[in-house]
Structures are given as C-alpha cells and as structure tokens.
Amino acid sequence: MRAERREETAAALREQLQAADAGIEAPDGLWERVRAPREGTLVVEAPRPRRRPVSLAVIAVAAAAVVFVVCGTWWLVSPSSGPGPSQGSSPARTPGGAITLRVHNAEKPCRKLHTLECSLRVAKNPYVPYAGAGNSAGRVWHGDEVTASCVVTDGEMVTDEKGLSSTRWYRIEKAQDGEGGAGFEGWLPGVRTRNSTEVPVCSGAEKPPRNDS
C-alpha cells in the first residue's frame, strides 16, 4: 500500500510540474538582450603578438657590415689596390731603372767615422779575391749611396766582421761627392749593403772576365 501511494504522489507531482512549465512564457527580446553585451561590461580581447623593437646595436652592426662589404669590394676592383712598395726598404729605383743602395758597415764604431781604417773597398772584379792586390776601384763609407745596375750571384765569397757571408756582388756607380771625392764604377760585395729590392742579374756583357787579375 505504501509503495502504491508513493507512486501516485510522484505521478501527481510530475503532472503539476509539466503544467507549470507549459504556462511559463519568455518576454519578447529576452534572448537578444542576453546575447548582446551590457553597457559598461569589459570586453576582453585576446592579446595580439607585439613586435619587439630592433635595438640600436643591431642596426649599427648591420650598417657596419654593409660598409665593410662595400669598401672591400671597392678595394678589390680598385686599380690602385695592387701591392705597393715594401716599407723599410732603403733602396729606391731611379728614373733610369737603376737602384740606389746604401752602404752598410757591420762595425758599429766605424759607422760615424770617415777615416781610411773605416772605409770599405769597392772591387774591380767580383771573381778575384776581394783583398787582392790591384782589385780596388774605390772606397765607400757607411751610409754612402751608390747606384746599382745589376748583380752577380756567383762571385767570390766575402764574409763581414759579424760573420755574414755572401757571393752576391752589385755592379755600382759612385757619384762624385761634395767633398771633392771623384766618382767611380766597381763591384760592391753583398755583405756591404742591406738591399731589400730585387736587382736584375747581370748579362754576359755586363760581367767582367774571370781571369782578370
């Protein structure tokens, strides 16, 4: 009996709820008002990605790279970009194609003295002993400038006071100096200069005979 009463009570409640739900009517424009945002309501939008400002350092590096590339390209195509004369070379070419050499004395005490003991011999022939009798064309001193026209590489070996040896000899001409010294031509041993400029090798006509004494 109790079960039947509970079932009847539940059925009666369902009928009443259904009747109440059927009698409810929604006001006109209710759904439009619900969907539209109310005045003063904060509308949150999704944040847009912001571009990071380019720093001045990045701009400067980029500009420097452009300048470097432009300057490097100009240097490569420039007609004056060829190798220039080496620094520290004392000899220089004269308008006639000869080369000016500066005499070097290995003995430091003699470099400031213009005495006979401190003079250096210029030979007549590079193929006979340097100190041989009669093999002297003239004398020079440390710092003198002479003009070289060519060089032989197979002359007599000469060793200076510091132990430097060489078989190179330069065919040179010494102009008359302001002190009344006469000019002359001869052969200067390679150890008596510190030449760093290429000098042409003497031709057969420019070389003296080997049997000249």
pLDDT over 90 at 211, yes or no: no
**Residue 151 burial class via C-beta count within 10 angstroms: exposed 0-12, middle 13-18, buried 19 and up:** buried
Determine whether 146 is exposed, middle or buried from the number of CB atoms within 10 Å of its CB (0-12, 13-18, 19+). buried
Q: Are 191 and 164 in contact (CB under 8 A)?
A: yes
Question: pTM surpassing 0.75?
Answer: no
Does the residue 115 lie in any domain? yes
Per-residue model confidence (pLDDT) at position 5: 65
Burial label, 173 (beta-carbon count in 10 A; 0-12, 13-18, 19+): middle
Q: In whole angstroms, what is the distance from residue 169 CA to residue 192 CA?
A: 9
* Residue 101 counted as domain residue: yes
User: Is 207 part of a structural domain of the chain?
Assistant: no
Q: Identify the band that residue 57 occupies on the pLDDT scale cut at 50, 70 and 90.
A: low
Contacts of 194 (CB under 8 A, 6+ apart): 90, 102, 104
Cα 85 to Cα 20: distance, rounded to the nearest angstrom: 112
Which residues, 6 or more positions from 125, have their beta carbon under 8 angstroms from its beta carbon? 135, 187, 208, 209, 212, 213
Mean pLDDT across the stretch 77-86?
35
Count of positions (residues) in the chain: 213
Q: How confident is the model over 192-211, as a mean pLDDT? A: 92
Is there a domain that residue 22 lies in? Answer: no
Nearest to 187 by CA among 158, 148, 154: 148
Q: Is the pLDDT of residue 129 over 90?
A: yes
With respect to residue 199, please indicate whether it lies within any of the assigned structural domains: no
The residue with greater pLDDT, 118 or 178, is 118
pLDDT over 90 (residue 16): no
Structural domain contains residue 112: yes
> Does pLDDT of 112 surpass 90?
yes
83 falls within a domain: no
Domain extent, residue 168, equals: 92-192
User: Which value, in Å, is the radius of gyration of the alpha carbons in the chain?
Assistant: 53
- Predicted confidence at residue 73, as pLDDT, reads 37
Kindly state the average pLDDT of the residues 119-146.
Answer: 95
- Do the domain assignments include residue 57? no
Q: What is d(CA 91, CA 146) in angstroms, rounded to the nearest whole number?
A: 9
> Who's near 81: CB < 8 A, 6+ residues apart?
75
**The total number of structural domains that make up the chain:** 1
State residue 183's pLDDT score: 86
114, pLDDT greater than 60: yes
How confident is the model at residue 17, as a pLDDT?
62
Q: What percent of the chain has pLDDT over 90?
A: 46
Mean of the per-residue pLDDT values for the chain? 74
